[in-house]
Amino acid sequence: MSNQEKQRILTGITTSGTPHIGNYVGAIRPAIEASRNSDNLSFYFLADFHALIKCQDPDLVEQSTREIAATWLALGLDPEQVVFYRQSDIPEIAELCWMLNCVCAKGLMNRAHAYKAAVDANQAGGEDPDFGITMGLFSYPVLMAADILMFNANKVPVGKDQIQHVEMARDMAQRFNHLFASNKKPLLSLPEYQVDDDVAVLQGLDGRKMSKSYGNTIPLFLGEKQLREHINKIKTNLLEPGEPKDPDTATVFQIWQAFANAEQQAQMRQAFADGIAWGEAKKQLFELINAELAEPRERYNELLAKPAYIEEVLQAGAEKARQYSAPLLAQLRNSVGIRKLG
């Protein structure tokens, strides 16, 4: 199958923060698996323009970009097989973003969850509704639409919180086509979101959803000693060794399930029924996670020591990406009337 015929899967990773095992299980691992399916052409990119919305510490933006690129490569993403690039290396995205800004209704953005949540928080605190809200935050879904539409993506794997943004991208594509495309040939494809209900949403150390904002994460590439320490901090209850324990309410078991095969899951279930000590369950959990992550961790550390190599991979990815974005943008410019005069 030629690349032109393949189903296009596209997703972005905001480069703020360090990936944790919840990101790994919920997003990175399934995305890398999907990229191995040769019916798909995957576009995976580092959303560093999106990072600027949340993070105004330049060194952190750089560090996170390096770490996230190294993470995906260390976990086996094959840059030969997918299009792996950094958003800011594709000037066409920023340009399309402006064109979309000029067709996107402001009222649509007023309804975006992230913006509404910020307004609600301000009002609850007696502040001006738009206190501390930048245009970047407000128009964030337009940039995300540009990311998606620039590559005529068909499927966009996202978490539930991002569904609305993909729907907004569809709206913008429709509006753009309505205004500028001839009836028979739409300029922009309408994307669909893809939410995978099978992948686990991991619990964090305190039993709530694992999330940077709760400070309850297990970073993905901790050294062995620190990984063990983090696992030891997972919240349990006061049941003694020998007392049967309920796997389905235990964070230790929930994380176990995300790394274990069917047989290992059944074994641990039985061990809980037999009253395994919390300390022993955690020791086994450490061993299971460590077995999966030890090799990638080594590759990750090697990659981090070679930022010039990572940069080279990203530059090659940008070149590949621009083979798609440059011709489409030329067509879009022409269709809106930005044309050579003679």
The answer to whether residue 147 forms part of the interface with ligand TRP (CB under 6 A) is yes
Separation of alpha carbons 274 and 246, rounded Å: 10
Pick 153 or 252: Cβ nearer ligand TRP: 153
CA separation, residue 17 to residues 67, 189, 190, 199, 334 (Å): 9, 32, 31, 22, 39
74 HSE (CA, 13 A, CB side): 25
Q: Binding string, 37-66, against ligand TRP, x = CB under 6 A?
A: ----------x--x----------------
Pick 69 or 156: Cβ nearer ligand TRP: 156
Torsion sign (Cα): 270, 275, 281, 283: negative
The answer to whether residue 170 forms part of the interface with ligand TRP (CB under 6 A) is no
Pick 24 or 259: Cβ nearer ligand TRP: 24
Q: Binding string, 199-238, against ligand TRP, x = CB under 6 A?
A: ----------------------------------------
Pick 50 or 230: Cβ nearer ligand TRP: 50
Stretch that binds ligand TRP, among 9-17, 94-102, 129-137, 273-281 (CB under 6 A): 9-17
The answer to whether residue 158 forms part of the interface with ligand TRP (CB under 6 A) is yes
The answer to whether residue 29 forms part of the interface with ligand TRP (CB under 6 A) is no
The answer to whether residue 71 forms part of the interface with ligand TRP (CB under 6 A) is no
99 HSE (CA, 13 A, CB side): 29
Helices (H), the chain: 21-23, 29-35, 48-54, 58-74, 91-101, 106-110, 113-124, 135-138, 140-149, 163-180, 224-232, 251-259, 262-273, 278-304, 307-336
The answer to whether residue 150 forms part of the interface with ligand TRP (CB under 6 A) is no
Rg value, the chain, Cα: 22
The answer to whether residue 148 forms part of the interface with ligand TRP (CB under 6 A) is yes
CB of 201 to ligand TRP, least distance (A): 14
CA separation, residue 34 to residues 77, 161, 254, 317 (Å): 10, 21, 23, 18
Give DSSP secondary structure letters for 244-275. Answer: ---GGG-HHHHHHHHH--HHHHHHHHHHHHTT
Using CB under 6 A, which of 21, 69, 119, 144 touches ligand TRP?
144
Pick 144 or 288: Cβ nearer ligand TRP: 144
Pick 65 or 284: Cβ nearer ligand TRP: 65
Residues β-bridged to residue 157: 194
- Are 155 and 9 spatial neighbours (Cβ–Cβ below 8 Å)? yes
CB of 153 to ligand TRP, least distance (A): 7
- Are 32 and 76 spatial neighbours (Cβ–Cβ below 8 Å)? yes
CB of 82 to ligand TRP, least distance (A): 14
Pick 137 or 336: Cβ nearer ligand TRP: 137
CA separation, residue 135 to residues 131, 169, 214 (Å): 12, 18, 26
180: tokens are 């500028």
Pick 144 or 205: Cβ nearer ligand TRP: 144
Residue in the shown chain whose Cβ atom is closest to ligand TRP: 12
The answer to whether residue 11 forms part of the interface with ligand TRP (CB under 6 A) is yes
Separation of alpha carbons 42 and 58, rounded Å: 29
Stretch that binds ligand TRP, among 55-63, 127-135, 144-152, 262-270 (CB under 6 A): 144-152
Using CB under 6 A, which of 15, 64, 88, 162 touches ligand TRP?
162
CA separation, residue 66 to residues 16, 55, 63, 193 (Å): 11, 15, 5, 27
CB of 145 to ligand TRP, least distance (A): 8
The answer to whether residue 92 forms part of the interface with ligand TRP (CB under 6 A) is no
CA separation, residue 140 to residues 54, 112, 308 (Å): 11, 9, 30
Report the interface residues with ligand TRP, using CB under 6 A.
Answer: 10-12, 14, 47, 50, 144, 147-148, 156, 158, 162
